[in-house]
Structure 1
Amino acid sequence: MTHTADAIRHIRLSTATLPLSTPISDAKVFTGRQRPMTEVVFLFTEITTEQGHKGLGFSYSKRAGGPAQYAHAAEVAELAIGEDPNDIAKLNTKLLWAGASVGRSGVATQALASIDVALWDLKAKRAGLPLAKLLGAHRDSVRTYNTSGGFLNASIEEIKDRATASLADGIGGIKIKVGLPDSAEDLRRVAAIREHLGPDVPLMVDANQQWDRATALRMGRRLEEFDLVWIEEPLDAYDAEGHADLTRRLDTPIATGEMLASVGEHTRLIETRACNVIQPDAPRVGGITQFLKLAALADHAGLDLAPHFAMEIHLHLAAAYSREAWVEHFDWLDPLFNERLETRDGRMVVPDRPGLGVTLSDQARAWTTDSVGFGRH
């Protein structure tokens, strides 16, 4: 069969603000470093080609940064017009160089992530395959755990109720937030939830970077009795040495990586064996192209994988990882999309729809605060 070249005809960027029904607090709020989170800002990219193929991608920012992502993407997106959408790596490099003066991390790569994800969605749709199948899936479903019910603004009784509901909905594990200034209260909450769940339900905790090294080691030892799947972000995200020391000294696995914003930053975690479970976020590291580089390094190092947030993207990437992974279930994004991901028997099922398998809802359009187009409709 002769390949017929295609070209990107039109790109639409839009930014939308998703309001949260309840202000959300993790340990960073209780230590005074952040205010409660009330919204998430999204950057959506919609790509159309000369042959009529379409792709949808997104990135996001919690608290500050959303307008910066949108502004940077709007500066460089036009350079992709006329390019072959199949050449994703080439386009990723071209757009990175267009913004070389702001580097290859943070806002610069997060802005490009939305475009990159849209290109992968388009490519999988063109092939008539779910993205996981295009990448090469190892499994048709992935273990899933719930985070959105376990924030520190919720009481123990509320967390118990939400955990029970999550398990009834087919979710397999429960993660709760820790990292309060009062460590005794952290331990009380963990003990109560472990007792409620029983010994067999997977339970994780997340300190959101709020312990120093001495506290993390002390708490890690106290938490051993609860048979946790992992302790997440016990230290500052960039303290690779501290995380590596905990990984060596504790029986409970250490998980981290969600706050890092490039493959290069994750490489240090991998090379120093700073965790047992690596938690990259495709929108944060620059998209699926960059995530796949990172995943290959992590797999080679023997690390487990549990991508952060954005389950609509990460379900596919976790299914394509050679080791049994976890995917994080958040229901926050449900209003943005017309489709729902299925959970059953503790696992999230890879949809059989082509691409990511999601389309933007009317509500997402209604929450759009700005948009810009490039090329021809």
Structure 2
Amino acid sequence: MTTTAAPLTAAPAVLDRIESVTLSSVTLPLPNPISDAKVFTGRQRPMSEVAFLFAEIRTEAGFEGLGFGYSKRAGGPAQFAHAREIAADVIGEDPNDIARLWTKLVWAGASVGRSGASTQAIAAIDVALWDLKAKRAGLPLAKLLGAHRDSVRCYNTSGGFLHESIEQVKENATRTLESGVGGIKIKVGLPDSAEDLRRVRAVREHLGDGVPFMVDANQQWDRPTAMRVSRRLEEFDLVWIEEPLDAYDAEGHAELARSLDTAVATGEMLTSVAEHYELIRQRSVDIIQPDAPRIGGITQFLKLAALADHANLQLAPHFAMEIHVHLAAAYPHEPWVEHFDWLHPLFNERLETRDGRMHLSDRPGLGVTLTEQARAWTVDSVRIDAPR
């Protein structure tokens, strides 16, 4: 006896539709003004707050997703304004079609470019769609993507800024390591490179030889200075030297990467996959440091991760650990994730750190929800609904 399969129907394969998008501009005040090398070289003022763009998406079937992007110093209102203009383009769409929706949004605002503030505005919506998709599946985002590991190496940056004395930086490092974080990064790039070396030496002696240690010059060296100081830094057994040159100087970074035993890391300030590809093409980095909110969200990050994997690069995403712990866990090569405690007031949940690693939770999606304090810091908000 034979049976005949039922014919496939021609009905549209739409699982759900986006009913509303709520956008919120939230200003997070920092407890103390923050200074890195850009302040000491006169290029920026101390940072006292961070502007966040949150996107909350709801579907007709009742699923919800939360995403965010951010801007340090200027740019937050521009991101919010751009997102407000284009968000209506996803209303009525199937939220599962994330890559298609990213393309639709980027072309909606293509006259102002496909990088920078325009794609950073898209990032919040894109992250929310990925959060929603993982929640629909009942999975942490890393598991939806396909995790290679359940925890990732992590290092702390927020305790190593230049506005604090070296004694305070050492105290911060001790407290950070006791909390379960595995590595310590401090800022360098002062006008007096001898002071940089003094601070690095003091922290290395404090940490001992076995603790992973990184430095970050925040783009403040020219090529000769970067070569000279980086060679001096090699004695401290650093995991990497970060942003020794201008973020767009792929050629200069490539020369450093060829010349040094210490790994060269950069990429956090770039705002598109295309810009990162130039670093990969010229072999400018040993460790690439993309920032998902800056390059347009998770959809773009996954494209870049595939390119980085093909080039056998190490990965150390910048900031936004609540997003990047998932993306790093899904990267084939053992990555690093940057631990910042600045965002703690925004989210009800905490990422667990122990034994030098940041651990995935079993919460679905990104695994975070907004605090009432975050909502109290909202300076502008708009909800875009489906027409009725």
Normalised by the length of structure 2, the TM-score is: 0.96
Match of 2:331 in 1: 321
The CA distance in 2 between the partners of 1:222 and 1:6, in whole Å, is: 58
Q: Does the Cα contact within 8 Å between 2:346 and 2:373 map onto a contact in 1?
A: yes
CA displacement at 1:351 relative to structure 2? 1.2
* SS, match of residue 38 in structure 1: strand
The CA distance in 2 between the partners of 1:38 and 1:278, in whole Å, is: 27
Instruction: Verify: 1:363 aligned to 2:373, yes or no.
Output: yes
- CA deviation digits over 1:143-164, x for unaligned, max 9? 0000000000011110110000
Instruction: Verify: 1:350 aligned to 2:365, yes or no.
Output: no
Please list every run of 5 or more consecutive structure 1 residues that lacks an aligned counterpart in the other structure.
none
Letter paired with 1:170: G
CA displacement at 1:73 relative to structure 2? 0.3
Tell me which of 261, 267, 276 is aligned to 1:257: 267
The CA distance in 1 between the partners of 2:195 and 2:384, in whole Å, is: 53
Tell me which of 213, 226, 233 is aligned to 1:223: 233
Tell me which of 122, 138, 143 is aligned to 2:148: 138
The CA distance in 1 between the partners of 2:140 and 2:258, in whole Å, is: 38
Match of 1:119 in 2: 129
Letter paired with 1:169: S
- CA deviation digits over 1:59-85, x for unaligned, max 9? 000000000000000000001000000
Matched pairs, number? 377
The CA distance in 2 between the partners of 1:275 and 1:4, in whole Å, is: 42
Tell me which of 79, 82, 87 is aligned to 2:97: 87
Tell me which of 10, 32, 44 is aligned to 2:20: 10
Instruction: Verify: 1:168 aligned to 2:178, yes or no.
Output: yes
Q: Spell out the pairing of 1:91-102 with structure 2 (5 A cutoff).
A: 91-102=101-112
Q: Does the Cα contact within 8 Å between 2:291 and 2:318 map onto a contact in 1?
A: yes
Match of 2:73 in 1: 63
The CA distance in 2 between the partners of 1:295 and 1:270, in whole Å, is: 11
Instruction: Verify: 1:244 aligned to 2:251, yes or no.
Output: no
Instruction: Verify: 1:45 aligned to 2:49, yes or no.
Output: no
Letter paired with 2:147: A
- CA deviation digits over 1:105-137, x for unaligned, max 9? 000100000000000000000000000000000
- CA deviation digits over 1:338-364, x for unaligned, max 9? 000000000000111000000000000
* SS, match of residue 48 in structure 1: strand
CA displacement at 1:4 relative to structure 2? 6.0
Tell me which of 282, 298, 316 is aligned to 1:288: 298
Instruction: Verify: 1:279 aligned to 2:296, yes or no.
Output: no
The CA distance in 2 between the partners of 1:190 and 1:217, in whole Å, is: 17
Match of 1:147 in 2: 157
* SS, match of residue 306 in structure 2: helix
Structure whose CA Rg is larger: 2
Letter paired with 1:293: K
- CA deviation digits over 1:30-70, x for unaligned, max 9? 00000000000000000000000000000000000000000
Match of 1:36 in 2: 46
Q: Does the Cα contact within 8 Å between 2:250 and 2:279 map onto a contact in 1?
A: yes
Match of 2:5 in 1: none
Letter paired with 1:34: Q
The CA distance in 1 between the partners of 2:234 and 2:247, in whole Å, is: 22
* SS, match of residue 71 in structure 1: helix
The CA distance in 2 between the partners of 1:272 and 1:352, in whole Å, is: 39
